[in-house]
Amino acid sequence: MDSSPDYSRLIQSDSVHASLYTSQAVYREELEKIFYRGWVYVGHESEIPHPGDFVRRNIGEEPVILLRDRKGELRVLKNRCSHRANLICSDGKGNAKNFMCPYHGWVFSLDGQLLDVPYPQGFSRDKSESGLVALPLVDSYQGFVFASFNAGAGTLDAHLGNAKQVIDRAVAMSPVGRIKLTAGWVKHKFYANWKMLPENDTDGYHVNFVHASFAKVLRSHYDDAALQAEEDLESETIDWGNGHTELNLGPSYKNEMVWLGYTDASRFPGYVAALEQAYGHGRAHETLRAGPPHTVIFPNLFIAEMNIVMFEPRGPNECVQWHTPMLLEGVSDDLNERILRQCEAALGPAGFLLADDGTISERQQIALKSGNAWLDISRGEQREKEGPGDIRVGHVTDETTNRGFWKHYRRLLSR
């Protein structure tokens, strides 16, 4: 079975085949065609503010180092020595003048060039051809850094498309238009396929069931946004194209700052004043009411309201969801601490929400283990609307987001 799976058969407009979640062959092709051929999110500029700052990341299963070089330029290097392929950097983050491989002591500059080889008389190659592999495409938008192994991946601008305005909405939560990811990461392991993360994270249909225990004991913005009778729900699902999908919860919020667990903005007068000053009264109060986006940016970034989330695939049956609070520049420590506490409440292995999502995804993975089943993603096809700029908009409980994800996935995997 060397031939590639027939994706046009396995992915229908209204259903997808279970083998897409279980097959090793499909998983290998995803790595190649999504993670190694396209643009992938690697980190945020605020994680590496100074020259020499670096963080370790994985793109698909390739270990990389995201860093800022001496000149302040962003770079992504393969974390693999050009000699005998040892891991160059084993620290999760730090600041480096250069990288020395711990195996035989080769030294590389921050832009990947080979500077020094111990016992040089035996070294017959050309140093300039033995550097670390630098990813050919590295670009950032509003501080969000993306990279690609493939020089022909096109522009980041084209990849992001409509998702740019989503990122704009996220950073506009700050009166100076900047966020900072400085609180570290929690990593939550799911024994489930990585695609269940983007699918579940913008699924508005499950909230009433998976999160019933949460809704019983805590009042939250999800009461209005996702837990009303079908005809009373004003939130939307949006397929922005390119696999980017959103649960647009804003339309359901009546009051300001409900997205942070308040009934109005009176706790944070300084924040209100700063937003008004920066954006004018009208736009500031619209931001305070509508709140941050809840959007997956294909394939591995989730702007999860006041949190930033990354998806990491680890084989067909395991994945990791990373999260950190989306802290704001230009606001009080008080407000940022509130964002941090809300992040812990919602996300992660012990989160009031995500612990239950994780369990549900694992049960789904068990049920489709044979790889011999179809998953129905047809809900709301008949009432989905076309929006401006080729987007699709559905009821918040509809599978518009899932269809948007799979449509793009099919395009990439069929190439």
Partner 1 sequence: MQLVSIEEVRRIEALLYQEARLADESRYTEWEGLVDDDMYYWVPAGHADGDPSLAVSVIADNRRRLKSRIAQLNTGARHAQLPASPMRRVLSNIEVNKVETPKEQGTREYAVRANFVLYELRAQSTNTLEVWPGSVEYRVRARPSGDWKIFYKKVQLVHGSEPLATMGFLI
Near partner 1 by CB under 8 A: residue from 70, 97, 104, 341: 341
Q: Determine, following the binding rule CB under 6 A, whether residue 125 of this chain makes contact with ligand FES.
A: no
- 405 vs 42, 229, 291, 328, 378, CA distance in Å? 20, 26, 24, 29, 13
Distances in whole angstroms, Cα of residue 365 to Cα of each of 81, 191, 208, 228, 368: 36, 8, 21, 29, 5
Footprint of Fe ion on residues 341-360 (CB under 5 A)?
A: 357
Among 10, 18, 64, 81, binds ligand FES (CB under 6 A): 81
**Long-range contact list for 98-105, CB < 8 A, 24+ apart?**
99/65, 99/132
Pick from 73, 91, 92, 118: which binds partner 1 (CB under 8 A)?
Answer: 92
Q: Is the dihedral of CA 381, 386, 390, 391 positive or negative?
A: negative
Site for ligand FES contains 363 (CB under 6 A):
no
Give 329 or 356: the residue with its C-beta nearer to partner 1. Answer: 356
Q: What one-character DSSP code corresponds to residue 258?
A: G
* Shortest distance, position 135 Cβ to Fe ion, whole Å: 33
The one of ligand FES, partner 1, Fe ion, none whose footprint includes residue 83, by CB under 5 to 8 A per kind, is ligand FES
101 binds ligand FES (CB under 6 A): yes
Q: Which residue has the tokens 């480096």?
A: 96
DSSP secondary structure code for residue 134 in this structure: B
The DSSP element (H or E) to which 226 belongs, if any, is helix 222-226
Binder among 12, 15, 19, 86 for ligand FES (CB under 6 A): 86
Site string for partner 1, 344-383 (x = CB under 8 A): xx--xxx-x--xx-xxx-xx--x-----------------
Interface with partner 1 includes 25 (CB under 8 A)?
no
Q: Is 199 in the site for Fe ion (CB under 5 A)?
A: no
Q: Which stretch binds ligand FES (CB under 6 A): 80-88, 253-261, 270-278, 375-383?
A: 80-88
Q: Of 231 and 333, which has the nearer Cβ to partner 1?
A: 333
Residue 103 binds ligand FES (CB under 6 A): yes
In terms of phi and psi (left: phi > 0; alpha: psi -120 to 50; beta: otherwise), the region of 371 is left
Answer with the entry of Fe ion, partner 1, ligand FES, none that 153 interacts with (C-beta below 5 to 8 A by kind): none
Residue 329: burial class (beta carbons within 10 Å; 0-12, 13-18, 19+):
middle
Nearest distance from C-beta of residue 93 to partner 1, angstroms: 11
CB of 385 closer than 8 Å to CB of 393: yes
With contact defined as beta carbons under 8 Å apart, do 27 and 66 qualify? no
Task: Say if strands 62-68 and 186-190 run parallel, antiparallel, or are unpaired.
Answer: unpaired
User: At its nearest, how many Å lie between partner 1 and the CB of residue 148?
Assistant: 25
- Residues in contact with partner 1 by CB under 8 A are 92, 182-191, 210, 212-214, 216-218, 320, 323-325, 333, 337, 340-341, 343-345, 348-350, 352, 355-356, 358-360, 362-363, 366
